[in-house]
Amino acid sequence: MTTAHNSTQLQAVDIAIVGGAMAGATLALGLAKLSTTLSRPLRIALIEAHVADNQHPGFDARSIAIAHGSIFELSRLGIWSKLKHLGTPIENIHVSDRGHFGMTELNAKPLGLDALGQVVELAKVGSVLFDELAKSSVQVYCPAKVTDLQAQQDGHLLLLDDGSQLHCQLLVAADGAHSVVRQHLGQTTEHVDFQQTAIVANVVCSAPHHNWAYERFTQTGPLALLPMQNMAASTQLKEPSAQLTSSAKGLSRYSLVWALPPTQADDLKNADKSEFLAALQHAFGHRAGRFVDVGQRVSYPLTLSYMPRPIYHRCVFVGNAAQTLHPIAGQGFNLGLRDVVGLLDVIAQAFTQQGEVDVGSSALVHQYLAARQHDRDSTLRNIEFLVRGFSNQYWPLVAGRNIGLRLLSWLPPLKRPVAQTAMGWR
């Protein structure tokens, strides 16, 4: 690994990845592993603006659910074995519609699985991924920011804020929703504003979670609870509330994502603890027990934005730089990881077909576009449908979604395709 440079010397690499959070870091590790199997090693650079600490925008205090299909891919990339100890398995998911009759369950056992997915805390994942990068062949520029870039016929020239310059054949933008690469290249996104804000916090409940996750559609927006490791098992967590421990017998920790209209989210974010817990209890009910504590509340505006064509001359976009999803279905990183795997597959294939490979060639970039199109289009369509369908109180829609949820619980074979989508199987 190379850390922040202070030289104006031009470094030539095959692939430069801008952004080293979930998508960029997993891609860099995947490329380093792939490189050992190719006819020539790849020169890979990763440029990340922030060191992994609790101010990191991509490895912050959030927990995310990684679907079963993504665990399979991370295992194939040799990454999951390093993260496994951080995971809390989701064995069952309970889905319900507040105030209506519709509810259903998705269960791992009938599908022959140990878990439908795993919950991980991003801050901890970030430090493991950066430890692995330090042992790899990837040249890591961190903390360093790309401040300018020039598209050239044979690649891109990148200028970093520490004065370093890099030339790459292929530029990968993994720099998130407000991608600087996208702005420099004059590319735009389609944008849907759902007029919702998510409150994200860790909460403690009075009952053990037994590895259940919950998704509850309320009148104001969806509310999700993901089971977490208790504090005893999770000693490294930079937990905002000192009292937020669940090591006492019978308590459990969940990661809460609660989508609300922006003004209501603002009020609840700033409400005192008891008022917040009472509102949460009212919205969610008592299925998980009594909410007894909440940590720091953080809010995220909820939008869906995506690039219709996530490519440019010698450049591909992955993860949130290509599309930023509403967290309703917990698919953001899962879809981003499929971008990463799609790109790795296209590069591996190019090396099996030709002797001399230009990893930034127009053919390779277009193969990536074709490989990702169907999955991206259908995932984006499904999520917009879910958000609009379940945030709406128009009675035919309410009746339709409740009948849909009931049908899923009465006719278990129908659950398989739903579960497969939730688990990220394509």
Say how many CA atoms lie within 13 Å of 192 toward its Cβ: 14
Max intra-chain CA distance, the chain: 66
First-last CA distance in the chain: 34
48 near ligand FAD, judged by CB under 6 A: yes
Residues 74-133 within binding reach of ligand FAD (CB under 6 A)? none
What span, in angstroms and rounded, lies between the C-alpha atoms of 302 and 285? 24
C-beta separation of 58 from 176 below 8 A = yes
C-alpha to C-alpha distances, 262 to 259, 297, 386, nearest whole angstrom: 9, 14, 19
Site for ligand FAD in 130-169 (CB under 6 A): 145-146
Q: Is 65 in the site for ligand FAD (CB under 6 A)?
A: yes
Candidate residues 300, 303, 384, 397; the one interacting with ligand FAD per rule CB under 6 A: 300
Near ligand FAD in 305-334, by CB under 6 A? 319-320, 327, 330-334
* Site for ligand FAD contains 360 (CB under 6 A): no
Q: What's the closest the beta carbon of residue 355 comes to ligand FAD, in angstroms?
A: 33
Q: Which of 55, 51, 58, 47 shows the shortest CA–CA distance to 147?
A: 47
269 binds ligand FAD (CB under 6 A): no
Using CB under 6 A as the binding rule, whether residue 18 contacts ligand FAD is answered as yes
Q: What is the secondary structure of 42-65 as a DSSP string? A: PPEEEE-SS-SSTT-SSSSS-EEE
Binding mask 167-206 for ligand FAD (x = CB under 6 A): -------xxxx--x-----------------x-x------
Residue 57 sits in the site that holds ligand FAD (CB under 6 A): yes
Helix (H, G, I), strand (E, B) or coil at 115: coil
Residue whose CB is less far from ligand FAD, 62 or 314: 62
CB nearer to ligand FAD: pick between 20 and 102: 20
The least distance separating ligand FAD from the CB of residue 321, rounded to whole angstroms, comes to 6
Here the tokens at position 151 are 């598209």
DSSP 9: P
Nearest distance from C-beta of residue 173 to ligand FAD, angstroms: 9
Q: Which is nearer to ligand FAD, 11 or 402 (CB)?
A: 11
What's the count of helices (H) and strands (E) in the chain, helices before strands? 11, 20
Please count the residues of this chain forming the interface with ligand FAD, following the rule CB under 6 A.
36
Neighbours of 349 (CB within 10 A): 14
CB of 381 to ligand FAD, least distance (A): 17
Beta bridge partners of 88: 119
Peptide bond into 143 cis (omega under 30): yes
C-alpha to C-alpha distance for 281 and 273, rounded to whole angstroms: 12
Binding status of residue 351 toward ligand FAD by CB under 6 A:
no
23 binds ligand FAD (CB under 6 A): yes
Nearer to ligand FAD, 119 or 357 (CB): 119
Query: Which residues are at the interface with ligand FAD (CB under 6 A)?
Result: 18-24, 47-50, 57-58, 62, 64-65, 145-146, 174-177, 180, 198, 200, 257, 300, 319-320, 327, 330-334, 336
